[in-house]
Amino acid sequence: MTFICQDFLYLIIRGLIMSKESDVTDLINAVREDERKSRAVFYAVRLHSLISKITSEQMERPEIVQLVEGEIENIEHQAQEWNYV
């Protein structure tokens, strides 16, 4: 009888632990998804601001290329910083 109780308790405890691990995994996945969405919104807003700058200042092709290259450098810099997080 005690073996059955011990096995039953073991299964309950194991189920709780697995449930907690699953909850943590779900939480991590939700946070990652939220971060990806936030970054996408950030870059969309940033691109809109670049378009506004280009049109309002009536920039020529070389200026636009320089502006986009600067933005690429910013993105690459951010990606390097994320490697250290």
DSSP assignment of 22-69, as one string? HHHHHHHHHHHHHHHHHHHHHHHHHHHHHHHHHHHTT--HHHHHHHHH
Looking at residue 9, its pLDDT comes to: 72
Q: Calculate mean pLDDT across residues 71-77.
A: 92
The pLDDT tens digits of the residues spanning 10-47 come to 777 777 676 677 777 878 888 888 888 888 888 899 99
Looking at residue 85, its pLDDT comes to: 59
Identity at 75, one-letter amino acid code? I
Residue that wins the pLDDT comparison between 53 and 33 = 53
